[in-house]
Structure 1
Amino acid sequence: MSNTTISFSLHCVISPNQRSFTIVVLALIYLISLFGNLLVILVITFNQKLKTPMYILISALSVIDLANSTIVIPKMLADLHFEFSAVPYAACLLQMCVILIFEETESMLLMFMAIDRYIAIIHPLRYRSLITMKSVWTVILVLPVLAFLASTSFVFLASELSFCHSNILHYCFCDYFTMVQVACNHDPKFLLLLSCIAIIFGLGPFLLILFSYGQIGFAALKIRSVEGKSKAYSTCLTHLLVVGCFYFPLLTSYILPGAGVKLSVEVYNTMVIIGNVIPPMMNPIIYSFRNKEINSSIHRFFTRMKTAPNMNAW
């Protein structure tokens, strides 16, 4: 049978007694992600004082998180509700590619945000010359292009897979690794590509983020004020927490299979789902709502909506 005539059946591997609870939790996570990221985008868009490189990067992260959540979570909810969901071959490849693009773009964007904070704290006198609006917008426009080029390689390899035994993907959305597991092909190149891309676009940026925050942590040791030192460490730890929630599950699930380490369906599903749904919910809280400028802007935003809902006042 030609691949173009295949219709995959998605089947989320979740026990029936946990299905209702999972649906409620995912719906709540999606609503929080939707509200939080939309609010961050609106506040930064309509407040001219927040048109600086750091806030532009934060708004770009919110756009990616909003798009990723909208692509992933509603589909998962539908699959969980109906238990099985039929997806045409071309649509499945498209969804797989788009999710990979968002994952890779977010990984590189988080790296650039860490570099931004590293330069601002370690080399403050050079910050304005190195981090400009032009360089930030260049990064924001180039990163998706790089992610697209990397992700299309998965589409080409996935098109070589043949499905002679089963068309059931034991996953909540179309996923490259799950396709390889179901396919009749047994060439190591299919999983080797997954590990290589994960190392380049995941492990590399993650190590650079750890280096940046490590340097910031050492710089915080020189702060005499106990309050200032505590604030610096609190910021670093919370950023590393949300970064870890994104990188650790995805790197583990993408690199280990290519290295020959087998993961159970339940473990793999859990890892990738956590890496895709938790960070979009946490990023607005960690990167935005703890920021004084954004907090005051949100307060003014709702105040103006109550008194005179005219965005031109911003």
Structure 2
Amino acid sequence: MRWNNLTRPSEFILMGLSSRPEDQKPLFILFFTIYLITLMGNLIIILAIYSNSHLQTPMYFFLSILSFIDICYTTVIIPKMLINFLSESKTILYSECLIQVYFFLAFGNVDSYLLGSMAIDRYVAICNPFHYITIMSFKSCALLMAISFIIPCLHSLLHVHLVNRLTFCASNIIYHFFCDVNPMLKLSCSSTFVNEVVIKTEGLTVIMIPFMCIIVSYLRILITVLKIPSAAGKYKAFSTCGSHLTVVILFYGSISYVYFQPLASYTVKDRIGTLFYTIFTPMLNPFIYSLRNKDMKQGLKKLIVRIKSQ
């Protein structure tokens, strides 16, 4: 669909993962199943944490918030994606597209900052265990939570505002399965120089803050753990961090692959890469944290026993 002398389309067309009609129903079934698993898995994690007094610690508090954000994150993308699989038009209103961009960026960055907060929590627990309760107090957790929400929300608002200033006069077809900044910039017929500079400066800074917290925290943890004389002590320390590190690698690995490259090279491969941090990672998080964590396993067992007894 093309038009002339317009600065803003009334709607966009999302091409999705495949344009072939025979692929739409199988893709619908696949992603509907993934969405249900994501919802159920993260809800179970939240219920297990809040129904077990032994899991009322900062680490599991952040994990419960992470699970809630993962539900919100996928809900921003998958429902519209599922509708488009069964629809011939595959359209999204311009205003809905901007709303989707805002919440996608906001929840994605909240996810990132929560992972940073969890790394700080692990650092304090392993490197300063005797001062853990004092350092990771209610005020400290509240401050980390405030930072984890305020910075991403302001960051998202800035990028949506810059996208809204662009002129679209060539095409309204977005070659992606949801509204994202880079595919929208490629459609613009006005200069995207400011947008790209902000992405490479402010955007990179916002992403790197929690990432650097994670790197520094785990370097300090590694140094501390290597000083532990017993092999059992080292294993116990590493096992408490294994789940978190796995999630961090999946999340930041896929984001780096998609975003740390020139805008002109944004292709179909990037759509596949985007699937990992938008859909697969939120689905896998509950399994990673529950299968590799003894406390979570016990919490889940207690939750199952309680449900059966009721």
Q: Name the TM-score, length of structure 2 as normaliser.
A: 0.89
What is the RMSD computed on CA atoms of the aligned residues? 2.3
Q: Distance in 1 between matches of 2:290 and 2:60?
A: 9
Equivalent residue for 1:76? 81
Specify whether residues 23 and 234 from structure 1 end up closer, same or farther in structure 2 by C-alpha distance, changes over 3 A only.
farther
Equivalent residue for 2:94? 89
Q: Given the alignment, which residue of 7, 10, 13 partners 1:9?
A: 13
Q: Contact between 2:101 and 2:180, CA under 8 Å: does it hold in 1?
A: yes
The offset of 1:86, in angstroms, is 1.0
Q: Distance in 2 between matches of 1:205 and 1:250?
A: 14
Give 1:303's aligned amino acid: V
Q: Distance in 1 between matches of 2:203 and 2:289?
A: 24
Q: Given the alignment, which residue of 147, 151, 175 partners 1:146?
A: 151
Q: Deviations over 1:49-97 (max 9, x none)?
A: 3222111111111110111112222222333343651111111101110
Q: Which runs of 5+ in 1 are unaligned?
A: 309-314
Q: Contact between 2:74 and 2:279, CA under 8 Å: does it hold in 1?
A: yes
Q: Contact between 2:243 and 2:292, CA under 8 Å: does it hold in 1?
A: no
Q: Distance in 1 between matches of 2:249 and 2:123?
A: 18
Instruction: Give yes or no for the alignment of 1:160 onto 2:162.
Output: no
Give 1:133's aligned amino acid: F
Q: Deviations over 1:173-223 (max 9, x none)?
A: 111111110110133112222222432222332232122122222322233
Q: Contact between 1:40 and 1:284, CA under 8 Å: does it hold in 2?
A: yes
Q: Distance in 1 between matches of 2:105 and 2:33?
A: 24
The percent identity for this pair of structures is 34
**Once structures 1 and 2 are overlaid, which stretch shifts more, 22-31 or 58-67?**
22-31
Specify whether residues 218 and 27 from structure 1 end up closer, same or farther in structure 2 by C-alpha distance, changes over 3 A only.
farther
Specify whether residues 85 and 252 from structure 1 end up closer, same or farther in structure 2 by C-alpha distance, changes over 3 A only.
same
**Once structures 1 and 2 are overlaid, which stretch shifts more, 121-130 or 87-96?**
121-130
The offset of 1:39, in angstroms, is 0.6
Equivalent residue for 1:99? 104
Q: Contact between 2:289 and 2:296, CA under 8 Å: does it hold in 1?
A: no
Q: Distance in 1 between matches of 2:274 and 2:157?
A: 20
**Once structures 1 and 2 are overlaid, which stretch shifts more, 232-241 or 107-116?**
232-241
The offset of 1:44, in angstroms, is 1.7
Superposed, 1:115-126 pairs within 5 Å as 115-126=120-131
Equivalent residue for 2:307? 305
Specify whether residues 230 and 50 from structure 1 end up closer, same or farther in structure 2 by C-alpha distance, changes over 3 A only.
closer
Give 1:140's aligned amino acid: M
**Once structures 1 and 2 are overlaid, which stretch shifts more, 171-180 or 281-290?**
281-290
**Once structures 1 and 2 are overlaid, which stretch shifts more, 25-34 or 184-193?**
25-34
Specify whether residues 131 and 6 from structure 1 end up closer, same or farther in structure 2 by C-alpha distance, changes over 3 A only.
same
Give 1:108's aligned amino acid: Y
Q: Deviations over 1:256-293 (max 9, x none)?
A: 236xxx32421221222211112212222233443323
